[in-house]
Structure 1
Amino acid sequence: MSMMESLFNILFSLCCGFGTGTLSGLLGIGGGMIMVPLFCLVFNMSPLSATATSLFVIILTSVFGTITHLYHKTCLLRIGLITGLSGAPVAFFSARIARYTPNWLIVLVTALIIMYSAIHMLKGTDIFGKYTENNKHSHIKQTSSWQHMSSLRTAVLSSIIGLIAGFFSGFSGVGGGFIMVPFFVNFLQMDMKMTSGTSLLAILFIAVTGSIQRALFGHIAFLPGLNMGIAAIPGAILGSHLVRKVPERTLKIVFSCLLIICAIMLIGKQVIH
């Protein structure tokens, strides 16, 4: 690789890292669904290495994003902790499963999960008009989630969401936010703005265990991961600030469209090769 190509890759990593970090803080995702396609398409990583490196970067984005969300009180601490601690051990073992899984299956499963989450989120949003009936009362949902934080039902649902997110995080190399965000909205009746910080807190625990397992297998490409991760930190802080200013409907539409684009990119990459 020439010096110019190396310089381009570094600059590209920094730009992508900042953009990914911003979306992470804004939408409550780790950013894996963006980074995995980029690592595969731009850096020619194998799906296994791309997913492992993605989890490594997600640790940095989730740490700083969570701190900012806690400062702005856009994070439900108890729900985030229950979800994250439930998913963390599952992510550790599902990362082992990924080691013995064909690359095409990892890509296919990841793309299908991402597409499902996008469609699920769009069901409650009228893209071309006003809010649907559910979104009109989103402020009621947020109040309801606060009132039921200590209930057994909320704790059980949070734990189940964590188990599901943890499995697919360790397996596919994404933080799990693409599962947690729509599940928080639909099953815990949380406001979209509150899901961002709550999801990032849970992602932190899940990503750490998944990354440890991948690092032990030597799958993480640390140099491009560090380049992207360093740039993602200020982006995550910025996104966490912006979440209070962006309308609920806009957040849902942006989140869903981003999921669809990433799913198409992953499938396209697999078809081409």
Structure 2
Amino acid sequence: MGGRNEAASPSAERASAERAVERLDARGVAVLVAVGLACGILSGLFGIGGGTIIVPALVWLGLSQRHAAATSLAAIVPTSVSGVVSYALGGNVNWLAALLLAAGVVVGSQIGSMLLGRLSEVTLRWVWVVFLVFVIVQQVTFTPPRDGVLVLHVWSGVFLAALGVLTGSLAGILGIGGGAIMMPALSFVLGASDLMARGTSLLVMFPGAISGTVANWRRGIVHLKSGLIVGCCAALTAPLGTTMAGMISPRAGSLLFAAWLAFLAVRSTMTALRATRASRAA
């Protein structure tokens, strides 16, 4: 597949996803369960949806980058609910900021879903690599405050809505929740504490993931069975990750997340290079 992706019909895409479901043996289910449990811990710990774990795992199991991204977004729905409950009980959710972000995310997720169906497989893989590198640099260079306070006014509200559109678009393309984008913006630009930024980001992921998943399902690119296995398992362990987040310093959390992403970036770059060579040889 080179350049722009040849658009497949929703029925053809769904048939491909169904074949992937049929190939999901006991080993595949075990991998999905393990990924879900790990994803839940990291979701609560870092305030992310878990796409940085789910997408590579699904690609490794045989799904295309496109199907993996769409399926990951579906898995984020139950994951985000479990994580946000834990943060909300601790008073670490700004509901108004989440509402403004969510309004933009719902719009952006539709844009992202549309682009996901049109971009080539090779392009999607390289966009993923660039995103990982961006987040690694951000995590290493910026440490969020633990005692920050999020203050809203007119211009910050406009900023949050625009940020939501950007986040939703990238989330739709990459199959992520968007926490890696929203968290630094909430802390660095608006002064939120690291815990408030994580809790608010997780709340915003819920409507965005639902909106994107519905759009992806209509396009026939969601592997729903895998998404539900991962998401439900992640929902079980997300509260544990939330507890861990309050026990470590913001700096330690940032460096741990960056180390994990660096591993994924190396692996994803190798995969993207192989896909590029195969595309050119075709």
With normalisation by structure 2, the TM-score equals: 0.85
Contact 2:146 2:194 in 1 (8 A): no
Structure 1 runs, 4 residues or longer, greater than 3 Å off: none
Offset of 1:240 from its aligned partner? Answer: 2.0
1:221-271 per-position Cα deviation (integer Å, ceiling 9, x unaligned) = 122222212211111122123222221111111222223322222222122
Q: Distance in 1 between matches of 2:198 and 2:103?
A: 17
Equivalent residue in structure 2 for 1:18, among 25, 30, 37: 37
> Structure 2 counterpart of 1:70, which letter?
A
Amino acid at match of 2:140: L
- Aligned counterpart in structure 2 of residue 162 of structure 1, from 140, 164, 183: 164
Residue in 2 that maps onto 1:58: 76
Task: Identify unmatched segments of 5+ residues in structure 2.
Answer: 1-19, 276-282
How far off is 1:36 after superposition? 0.7
Query: Among 45, 50, 75, which residue is 2:63 paired with?
Result: 45
The counterpart of 1:254, out of the listed 243, 253, 256, is 256
Give 1:100's aligned residue: 118
Structure 1 residue aligned with 2:51: 32
* Counterpart Cα distance in 1 of 2:141 and 2:247: 23
Aligned residue in 1 for 2:200: 198
Matched to 1:19, the amino acid is A
Aligned mates of 2:208, 2:118 — CA distance in 1: 20
Report the counterpart of residue 9 of structure 1 in structure 2. Answer: 28
List aligned pairs for 1:1-273, cutoff 5 A.
Answer: 6-41=25-60, 43-125=61-143, 138-139=145-146, 142-143=148-149, 145=150, 148-149=151-152, 151-273=153-275
Q: Which amino acid aligns with 2:163?
A: I
TM-score, with normalisation over the residues of structure 1?
A: 0.87
1:139 Cα deviation from its structure 2 partner:
4.5
Inter-partner Cα distance in structure 1 for 2:98 and 2:259: 25
Q: For the aligned residues, what is the CA RMSD?
A: 2.0
Which amino acid in structure 1 is aligned with residue 178 of structure 2? G
Match of 1:131 in 2: none
**Count of aligned positions:** 255
